[in-house]
Amino acid sequence: SQELEQSPQSLIVQEGKNLTINCTSSKTLYGLYWYKQKYGEGLIFLMMLQKGGEEKSHEKITAKLDEKKQQSSLHITASQPSHAGIYLCGADIFAGGTSYGKLTFGQGTILTVHP
């Protein structure tokens, strides 16, 4: 089983709709990273969360990390076709709370936004 579970695996929405992607682990997440990837391209860094209860926003995207640091959500408000892509959560789950270590990734969520 995946150490990081993302849901849903795919999502199709109409432009203007809000949506949420979840990332869940049975282990404590020491650093949770959200990335966006276009097919066949590299990963674009979106946001990083480290503290329990932390919430960050950038433009229409908001990411939260729960108090237990085992679940994160990515929320997009008023989605646009430019938001389409693959969203990946990555986390340091190897304890110690150290940065600069290996990241484990969820399986990704494919987002399609219809105009």
35 binds other proteins (CB under 8 A): yes
H or E element in which residue 11 lies? strand 10-14
Q: Which of 5, 30, 54, 26 is nearest to 103 (CA)?
A: 30
Of 1, 14, 42, 82, which one interacts with other proteins (CB under 8 A)? Answer: 42
Identify which range of 20-28, 34-42, 60-68, 71-79 contacts other proteins by CB under 8 A.
Answer: 34-42
Stretch 59-98: interaction string toward other proteins, x if CB under 8 A:
-----------------------------x-x--------
Q: Which of 51, 55, 35 is nearest to 111 (CA)?
A: 35
What separation in angstroms does the CA of 60 have from each of 12, 36, 50, 76? 17, 14, 20, 6
Q: Which residues bind other proteins (CB under 8 A)?
A: 31, 33, 35, 40-45, 48, 88, 90, 99-100, 102-108, 110
